[in-house]
Amino acid sequence: MKDKISKKKYDKLYKKVRNSSFLGTVLSFSLLMILFVGIMVFNSIFFLEYVFESKFAEEHRRLSMVSDMRDHHGDPLEMEEFYKENDISFYVRDDQGTTLMQRGDDTCTFEGGVINMTEEQEHFLVYLDEEENYFYVKGNHLKPKWDELVSWILEHWKDDESIKELKLPFWISMEHEDKGEVFVGKAYLTLNVHDMILVAEIGAVILILAVFVLILTVVNIITGIHKMNNVIRLYHHDPVTNGYNWTWYQKSGDKRIRGVFTKKSNWASVNLMLRNYRSYCVCHSVESGEALLSRIYEVLEERTEKKELCAHVTSSNFALLLKYEDEDHLKMRLHEIMNELSKVEERHNLSFRAGIALIPGVVSGSEEASDRKKLQIKDIYNNACAAGSMVKDTVNSGLYVFDDKLLEEQKWRDIVHEKRNGALTNEEYKVYYQPKYNPKDDTLRGAEALIRWESPEYGFITPGRFIPIFESDGFITEIDHYMLKHVARDQKTWLSEGFQCVPVSVNVSRAHFSERDLAEQIRDIVDAEGCPHELIEIELTESAFFDDKDTMVETIKRLKTYGFVVSMDDFGAGYSSLNSLKDMPLDVLKLDAEFFRGEFDGDRGEVVVSEAIKLAKSLKMRTVAEGVEDKKQVDFLAEQGCDMIQGFYYAKPMPKDEYESRMNGQNNLA
């Protein structure tokens, strides 16, 4: 069995699904773009460094030639003419720093660093020029200021189209160790038009590729967001009404009731249900029913205001989250909505029921505001559904507000669920017996086994407080087995002790009759306690006869084959009793207690009871009248030939030891 996903894991999974479609793409493409641009920039810098080194090497060779010519050329006048024509500036100093020779302006700053020549595996000392400084010192190395160079190029190239090359000055120092001299010459980093075009082309390529990657990333992000929005819309979409579903209501509802500003408002979670929806679908079609739900949703959507919520939840249930000023105005508004909805279908007057759970607003910073963070809209809506179940089943629309009384009922239901298994194990459920007497001679002829709960924690609990809960959650089948086992055990004990035992009826709920081996289960439980089958009467409620008629008939036949007596309880409480009697091979017919309440004597009630007793006798069935409380009724029933009476006139349900005393009195009312 798969583990149920907690809300925390659900929210985390939802966020992961919501973000994964485009955040991953954004991250991957951004990293790719950064990597690509980085590689291009690195290659460009490497290329420019290579150009720079090539230019420097060229200037270094030129100045080396000038230094060699100064030493080996004999004619000073020719040298002077050569210096002027080639605009050569230099100076020569000895080891002491004394200038031995100077040619041209001395603009050397003597601030510089080393330039590495990777091809020659050499490095040279270079100084900055004080007039035009387009280099900087980094550590012990000289580096070009590429940003200023590019800016200068763009500026001057625009101003003067005649400029074909740019010369950037710096000074190169060369030592002559054999002479003890230092030659420092002015060099130029010359950038011609071809160099600049090449640099521009590289920059343009980098820019174009970067823009392309950027556009591709943006397009992919937008596409991812669009796809994700479609997924989220589908995730929140209700196919029946083409509106929102329960998932959206949960996500949006939690935000409304917990939001910084919205939590200050009064909110009401509403469960609105269209009654008799299944009957409508049977009479028309499922498609027509869904079309009706769609029209209802449209009306609800029109009637909800900004920030209020409306969603189709399940079948004919709609979930609303409405703002309200006070409870009376909210009720009035819902009545107006239901009145409008009742006229959606022209040929039918629709009816609705509404359950309301109120969520009063809180002030920021208060203790209630802190507790509000723990609220979940699904819990509030569940309270609204519980309130809706309290609306009476009538032809008219109605509403009910979840209140403290209903809250206590819900808490009690939780307590019963929590304690039921332990109570079964500890045998806190006790069997009470209500005797059945023959009204003609007041002798004991039978009894009905009834359950009571004696809880160490909650005291004596009547069946009306827990049996309906067990019937709704299916635990009633465990109670049936428990009661049958204990009654069979008691009957066996009394029989062994010499009591004149009479049959005891044990109720079997309708939930059991989906089990085709029910008769065998009953037989085996009774046999395990060693009780004779004729001392156990199996009592079935009239409503059980309408579930699976064929299975019911077969089960009754097998029970009778095993020697059990079978009776129908609550005869007259339903609407198909006569039809049931026609087909069911029953032994005992119990007249419902409602026959004997209110005005009974001298009118139609006596006629109905009299004819029911005659009908049972004609079908060879014994009759039991339950709920009889006064002597006049007893006399009437005795006169009509009723076989047994069960009611407060003779005895209330009593514990086992008190019932033993009744049997000990020779089975009569001594």
Question: What pLDDT, in 10s, does the model give residues 218-263?
Answer: 777 777 777 777 777 778 888 999 999 999 999 999 988 888 778 7
pLDDT computed for residue 16 by the predictor:
60
Tokens 């600049």 label which residue? 196
227 within domain boundaries: no
Q: In degrees rounded to 5, what are phi and psi of residue 153? A: -60, -50
Query: Which of the residue ranges 199-213, 342-356, 638-652 has the most confident prediction, judged by mean pLDDT?
Result: 638-652
Least confident range from 101-110, 119-128, 274-283, 337-346: namely 119-128
In a domain, residue 230? The reply is no
In degrees, rounded to 5, the angle at the alpha carbon of residue 390 between the alpha carbons of residues 389 and 394 is 90
Strand-strand pairing, 443-455 and 429-438: antiparallel
C-alpha–C-alpha distance, residues 508 and 471, integer Å: 11
If asked whether residues 438 and 344 sit together in one domain, one would say no
Do both 451 and 553 map to the same domain? yes
Whether 354 and 494 share a structural domain: no
Is the pTM for the entire model greater than 0.75?
no
Alpha helices of 317-403 — where are they, by DSSP H? 327-341, 367-372, 377-388
pLDDT digits (tens, 9 = 90+) for 441-492: 999 999 999 999 999 999 999 999 999 999 888 899 999 999 999 999 999 9
For residue 370, what are the contacts with CB-CB under 8 A and spacing of at least 6? none
Any alpha helices (H) in 73-145, and if so which ranges?
A: 76-85
Mention every residue, 6+ apart, whose C-beta is less than 8 A from residue 345.
292, 295
Last residue of a domain, one of 189, 205, 221: 205
Phi-psi region of 375 (alpha: psi -120 to 50; beta: other; left: phi over 0): beta
Domain assignment of residue 464, given as a range? 426-664
Query: Do 472 and 505 lie in a common domain?
Result: yes
> What's the chain's average pLDDT?
82
| Tokens at 288, concatenated | 């027509």
Q: Which residue has the higher pLDDT, 670 or 265?
A: 265
pLDDT bucket at 559, cuts 50 / 70 / 90: very high
Q: 26 versus 670: which is more confidently predicted?
A: 26
Residues 6+ apart with CB under 8 A from 166: 152, 153, 156, 190, 191, 192, 196
Q: Could you tell me if residue 512 is inside a domain? A: yes
The count of domains in the chain is: 3
Q: Please check whether residues 503 and 605 belong to one and the same domain.
A: yes
Look up residue 241 and give its DSSP letter. Answer: T
Q: What b/e readout covers 379-408, taking b as 16+ CB neighbours within 10 angstroms?
A: ebbbbbbbbbebbeeeeebbbbbbeeebee
Same domain? For 650 and 579 the reply is yes
pLDDT computed for residue 3 by the predictor: 45
Rounded Cα gap, residues 561 and 147, in angstroms: 107
Q: How far, in Å, CA of 309 to CA of 384, rounded?
A: 15
Question: How far, CA to CA in Å, does 644 sit from each of 11, 73, 590?
Answer: 63, 152, 9
Q: Is 275 helix (H, G, I), strand (E, B) or coil?
A: coil
456 and 369 within one domain: no
Distances (CA, A) of 66 to 69, 81, 174: 5, 13, 11
Residue 602 and residue 471 in one domain: yes
Q: Yes or no: say if 538 and 522 are a contact pair by the CB < 8 Å rule.
A: yes
The residues, any chain, with a CB within 8 Å of residue 605's CB and separated by 6 or more, are 595, 599
At 317, phi and psi to the nearest 5? -100, 135
Residues 552 and 433 placed together within one structural domain of the fold: yes
Q: Decide if 456 is inside a domain.
A: yes
Residue 142, amino acid: L
Band of the pLDDT at 194, cuts 50, 70, 90? low
The tokens of 527 are what? 């046999």
138 DSSP β-pair partners: 141
CB neighbours (10 Å) of residue 8? 8
Q: Give the C-alpha distances (Å, rounded to integers) separating 162 from 153, 159, 474.
A: 13, 9, 100
Residue-wise pLDDT for 363-405, tens only, equals 666 666 566 677 889 999 999 998 998 888 766 788 999 988 8
- Residue 157 included in any domain: yes
Which range among 24-38, 92-106, 169-183 shows the weakest confidence by mean pLDDT?
24-38
Is residue 446 within 8 A of residue 644, CB to CB? The reply is yes
Of 402, 435, 460, the position where a domain reaches its end is 402
Contact criterion met (CB below 8 Å) for 409 and 391: no
| Same domain as 602, residue 466 | yes
396 and 253 part of one domain: yes
Does residue 225 fall inside a structural domain?
Answer: no
416: in domain: no
Q: Is residue 353 part of a domain?
A: yes
Same domain, 389 and 430: no
Residue 556 sits in a domain whose CATH number is: 3.20.20.450
**Is-contact 531 489, C-beta < 8 A?**
yes
